[in-house]
Chain A
Amino acid sequence: MSENKEFVCDSLIIGSGIAGMQAALDIGDAGYNVIMVEKSPSIGGKMISLSKVFPTLDCASCITTPKMAASSHHPRVKAFTYSEVEKIEKTNEGFEAEIIKKPRFVIESECISCKKCEESCPVHLEDEFEFGLGVKKAISIPFTNAIPQLPVLDESKCIRCAACARVCPKDCIDYLQKPEKIKIKAKTIILATGYEITPMTAKKEYGGGRLINVISSLQAERLLAPHGPYGKVLRPSDGKIPDSIAYVQCAGSRDESIGIPYCSRVCCMYAVKQAMLLSGSLPLSEITIYYMDIRAFGKGYEQFYNQARAMGINFVKAKVAKITEDQEHNVILRIDKQEEGSVPMEVKHDMVVLSQGLLPSNKNFFGLNIEKNEYDFVASSKPDFSPALTSTEGVFTAGTACGPKDIPDTIMEAGSAAMEAVNYLKSVKI
């Protein structure tokens, strides 16, 4: 590990998804210095991988990319990507964080993002940006609009053939790079660590992730994204265009049997949105949403839902109890059809999307003494007046780190966290 570097800033933001970026921009605009730490190789968070947003059907990357550009070009915002926070300590002057910057095996200051290395690399890997649906190279820029536009070499998969080193015009491949330890002193912290979706393995009745045509909702986002892995919607097992697609709602929320009793708030709406997009891209396919109840609570959401019904999307009230497959990998759902009284039955679909819930992505807060709620989301110390406050003075929170929420709410909360942080910075004057 190379020697310690030290940085000082007013506000340290953990996470650079839409919440982190919004807070960074707001604090930066107010005249304070911000550092964002991001564990992935690019800023942008989950939102940059989404297709469109509800209920406006705006293109998600058309909203996220400008924010990414703005925060990376902001004179008072600095980002450490591909970096993990090891620990944060509260000191008399504020906070001291230790972060580890993982090696990309590329000299970052030299790289001109020509992608020659990526083109030359002979190793193909599952692409995590496409949630396993597409392929990437062992050295690659994470995705087309990633910021920074720097390739990352997957050390564990690299065969050391040196193809990339030979073609790099700037000679900046460095197989010997080591992780770097970086110290950051900050006066405030914003936890914007975001969420993970309920794992495919969470419910054994849903095949435990083994059914090939049962995909995650984020995979479905990628299939629908304009620059997605296949450029169209195909089912994974055989590349066929699915004639009938089903959504299984509350697949990992509102289910005490798997220990997640809360509603994740976004899955009803993203399923409705995806269903609409699907009926646009596959006008001949049948789309069915199996739901317990549709929770369309936000501004314009109910109209959005009604519009989906009017478009001919089937809404069936039933909790899917079991998912299996037949020999052709068609997916079989077991439901209790309530519209006809009560009829236990099996229905078949070509492809099924699980509307998974939202779980907190980070649960230990790097050693900070932060109160959590019973599901490990950051607890707000004043949930009704200032939702961005946490139990530790100087630490604020925004977005899904402190509970499932949609993008508009996340952005509002990020603004609120930024405002709280700025007020705090003004008041302490340390």
Chain B
Amino acid sequence: MKVNPNFLKKVKKYGAFDISKCFNCGNCTAVCPLSAEDASFPRKMIRYAQVGAQKEIESSLDPWLCYYCGECSDTCPRQAYPGEFMMTLRRYLIAKYDITGISGFFYRFPWIQNILVAGIFAFSLGAFAVYKGDFQELAAKIELAFPVYVTLAIAAYVFTFYRKTILDKAKKILISFDFSNIKETLIHGLTQKNFSGCSDTDRTRWIAHLLVMSGYTLTLVISNLHLLEPLKKHYGISDFATFLVFYAAFAILAGGFIMMYRRAKKKAQSSSFSHSTDWLFVVMLFLIGFTTAVVHISNMILGPQDPRVEMLYKINIAVEVAWIIIIVPFTKWIHIFFRPMAVYLRNLKKEEAQGKLFSMPIPGLK
């Protein structure tokens, strides 16, 4: 095992607390309702971090199997906040799995991220304002560029994740075609059902999370597939698009409101620490849901020709541009993919141990 004595210092940049207080009693792992024999956390992760076993952490699935119930932090005899440490690890790993290195940069210098978001927003808005052509056409082009960009970003993350956790160790491509594994992965991805594994099930948190996640994904789909043309069509209350927009806006606003409220009140362990990037994420989420809904409603009331609708739509697209470019690929949002993937890869490892797995050696990799 190679150790990196500066590792803990590095990780600490991603969260504000002191895990060196931990005296390794194991209370956290024992109290954790999600920890299991083949996925024992958080103590092991803390120990790895303390001794600087960087590789062990970077190739571990455990950070993604933790759903931050906060029971470990509540009962830790040293009040070392092991739950927050797992959250910090997730931030660290996102930065680590980002091949561009930009995420890590943003985590360390959150104000640069804020400035960039504001700058891109202002720049796009300015450009849109002076644009004389058909804005609906331009918006269509912009929105059609989104999926390419987002897909590339996600694909890069997913590949690095797979490489670090499986490829580097197994030295061959491992794939599970097991039906129950795929089913479980999908269910986890869609419902985040592990939240309910927390014994003091915090229903509000799970519902808030589910709302935000579904609203977020829906917004991403709406914009990436260019489903809305508010300057061309006049939407009515019974249109399917209206339903989608309203659901997304409602889900984001309601879920986001609950999250913000809890963060401000620091109600539960999981909300008692906030990294400033978490705030930016929540604020942008709000703006997206809000502007999309406002454009849609004004279109329904004023009709597509009204100049006020066009103005609002420009703001909406400018927010979207900043969001897609800066937030989507470079924040913890990507854990939407890592969580179910970790479930899948954990089952895959089990199947591998049982020897019933599709594997493909890679020539040249030893």
Check if B74 sits within 8 Å of A319, measured CB to CB: no
> Given the complex of chains A and B, what is the CA–CA distance between A321 and B23 in angstroms?
14
> Given the complex of chains A and B, what is the CA–CA distance between A334 and B79 in angstroms?
19
Nearest CB of chain A from residue B275's CB, rounded to whole Å? 24
Check if A318 sits within 8 Å of B26, measured CB to CB: yes
Nearest CB of chain A from residue B345's CB, rounded to whole Å? 19
Q: Which of B247-273 contact A (CB under 8 A)?
A: none
Which of B29, B43, B79 has the most C-beta atoms of chain A within 10 angstroms of its own C-beta?
A: B29
Interface membership of B27, Cβ < 8 A: yes
Interface membership of A205, Cβ < 8 A: yes
Query: Pick the contact of A257 from B30, B32, B79 — CB < 8 Å?
Result: B79
Q: Which of B52-85 contact A (CB under 8 A)?
A: 74-79
B24 to A, closest residue via Cβ:
A338
In the complex where A321-B31, A334-B31 touch, is A342 in contact with B26 (Cβ < 8 A)? yes
Interface membership of B124, Cβ < 8 A: no
Query: Pick the contact of B75 from A257, A318, A338, A345 — CB < 8 Å?
Result: A257
12 contacting pairs across A/B (C-beta < 8 A): A205-B75, A256-B77, A256-B79, A257-B77, A257-B79, A292-B25, A320-B27, A321-B75, A336-B27, A336-B30, A341-B40, A344-B40
Chain A residues whose CB sits within 8 angstroms of the CB of B36 once the complex forms? 344
> Given the complex of chains A and B, what is the CA–CA distance between A422 and B172 in angstroms?
82
Bitwise interface map of B from 29 to 45 toward A, beta carbon under 8 Å scored 1, else 0: 11110011100100110
Nearest CB of chain B from residue A390's CB, rounded to whole Å? 31
> Given the complex of chains A and B, what is the CA–CA distance between A343 and B76 in angstroms?
18
Check if A343 sits within 8 Å of B37, measured CB to CB: yes
6 more A-B residue pairs beyond the given contacts A256-B77, A321-B31, with a C-beta to C-beta distance below 8 A: A292-B25, A292-B77, A319-B30, A321-B27, A336-B29, A341-B40
Bitwise interface map of B from 331 to 345 toward A, beta carbon under 8 Å scored 1, else 0: 000000000000000
Q: Which of A318-338 contact B (CB under 8 A)?
A: 318-322, 334-336, 338
Chain B residues whose CB sits within 8 angstroms of the CB of A318 once the complex forms? 25-26, 30
Check if B26 sits within 8 Å of A338, measured CB to CB: yes
Q: Which of A340-372 contact B (CB under 8 A)?
A: 341-345
Query: Pick the contact of B30 from A255, A292, A320 — CB < 8 Å?
Result: A320
> Given the complex of chains A and B, what is the CA–CA distance between A320 and B28 in angstroms?
10
Check if A344 sits within 8 Å of B35, measured CB to CB: yes
> Given the complex of chains A and B, what is the CA–CA distance between A257 and B76 in angstroms?
6
Interface membership of A250, Cβ < 8 A: yes
Check if B44 sits within 8 Å of A341, measured CB to CB: yes
A317 to B, closest residue via Cβ:
B26
Bitwise interface map of B from 5 to 24 toward A, beta carbon under 8 Å scored 1, else 0: 00000000000000000011
- Residues of B near any A CB (own CB < 8 A): 23-32, 35-37, 40, 43-44, 74-79
> Given the complex of chains A and B, what is the CA–CA distance between A130 and B24 in angstroms?
36
Q: How many residues of A contact B (CB 8 A)?
A: 21
Listed from nearest, the 4 A-B pairs whose CB atoms lie closest are: A336-B26, A321-B30, A319-B25, A321-B31
Query: Pick the contact of A256 from B29, B35, B43, B78 — CB < 8 Å?
Result: B78
Interface membership of A295, Cβ < 8 A: no
Chain B residues whose CB sits within 8 angstroms of the CB of A338 once the complex forms? 24, 26
Interface membership of A254, Cβ < 8 A: yes
Check if B31 sits within 8 Å of A343, measured CB to CB: no
Q: Is the interface of B mostly helix, strand, loop or mixed?
A: loop
Which of A320, A322, A334, A336 has the most C-beta atoms of chain B within 10 angstroms of its own C-beta?
A: A336
Chain B residues whose CB sits within 8 angstroms of the CB of A250 once the complex forms? 77
Nearest CB of chain B from residue A316's CB, rounded to whole Å? 10
Chain B residues whose CB sits within 8 angstroms of the CB of A321 once the complex forms? 26-31, 75
Check if B43 sits within 8 Å of A342, measured CB to CB: yes
Chain B residues whose CB sits within 8 angstroms of the CB of A336 once the complex forms? 26-30, 35, 40, 43
Nearest CB of chain B from residue A324's CB, rounded to whole Å? 11
Chain B residues whose CB sits within 8 angstroms of the CB of A254 once the complex forms? 77
> Given the complex of chains A and B, what is the CA–CA distance between A341 and B29 in angstroms?
12
In the complex where A292-B23, A318-B26, A335-B26 touch, is A344 in contact with B32 (Cβ < 8 A)? yes
Nearest CB of chain B from residue A99's CB, rounded to whole Å? 40
Chain A residues whose CB sits within 8 angstroms of the CB of B43 once the complex forms? 336, 342
Bitwise interface map of A from 307 to 322 toward B, beta carbon under 8 Å scored 1, else 0: 0000000000011111
> Given the complex of chains A and B, what is the CA–CA distance between A154 and B40 in angstroms?
54
B40 to A, closest residue via Cβ:
A342
> Given the complex of chains A and B, what is the CA–CA distance between A255 and B77 in angstroms?
4
> Given the complex of chains A and B, what is the CA–CA distance between A341 and B74 in angstroms?
24
> Given the complex of chains A and B, what is the CA–CA distance between A318 and B43 in angstroms?
12
> Given the complex of chains A and B, what is the CA–CA distance between A115 and B5 in angstroms?
72
In the complex where A292-B23, A319-B25 touch, is A344 in contact with B30 (Cβ < 8 A)? yes
Which of A250, A320, A321 has the most C-beta atoms of chain B within 10 angstroms of its own C-beta?
A: A321
Chain B residues whose CB sits within 8 angstroms of the CB of A343 once the complex forms? 37, 40
A250 to B, closest residue via Cβ:
B77
Nearest CB of chain A from residue B18's CB, rounded to whole Å? 13
> Given the complex of chains A and B, what is the CA–CA distance between A321 and B33 in angstroms?
11
B23 to A, closest residue via Cβ:
A292
Chain A residues whose CB sits within 8 angstroms of the CB of B32 once the complex forms? 344
Check if A322 sits within 8 Å of B77, measured CB to CB: no
Bitwise interface map of A from 66 to 79 toward B, beta carbon under 8 Å scored 1, else 0: 00000000000000
> Given the complex of chains A and B, what is the CA–CA distance between A329 and B32 in angstroms?
23
Query: Pick the contact of B44 from A205, A319, A320, A342 — CB < 8 Å?
Result: A342
> Given the complex of chains A and B, what is the CA–CA distance between A112 and B55 in angstroms?
79
Nearest CB of chain A from residue B73's CB, rounded to whole Å? 9
Nearest CB of chain A from residue B60's CB, rounded to whole Å? 12
> Given the complex of chains A and B, what is the CA–CA distance between A262 and B75 in angstroms?
16
Nearest CB of chain A from residue B310's CB, rounded to whole Å? 57
> Given the complex of chains A and B, what is the CA–CA distance between A63 and B24 in angstroms?
40
Check if B31 sits within 8 Å of A345, measured CB to CB: no
> Given the complex of chains A and B, what is the CA–CA distance between A322 and B79 in angstroms?
17
In the complex where A292-B23, A319-B25, A342-B43 touch, is A335 in contact with B77 (Cβ < 8 A)? no
Chain A residues whose CB sits within 8 angstroms of the CB of B27 once the complex forms? 319-321, 336
In the complex where A343-B37, A344-B36 touch, is A205 in contact with B31 (Cβ < 8 A)? yes
Which of B23, B40, B79 has the most C-beta atoms of chain A within 10 angstroms of its own C-beta?
A: B40
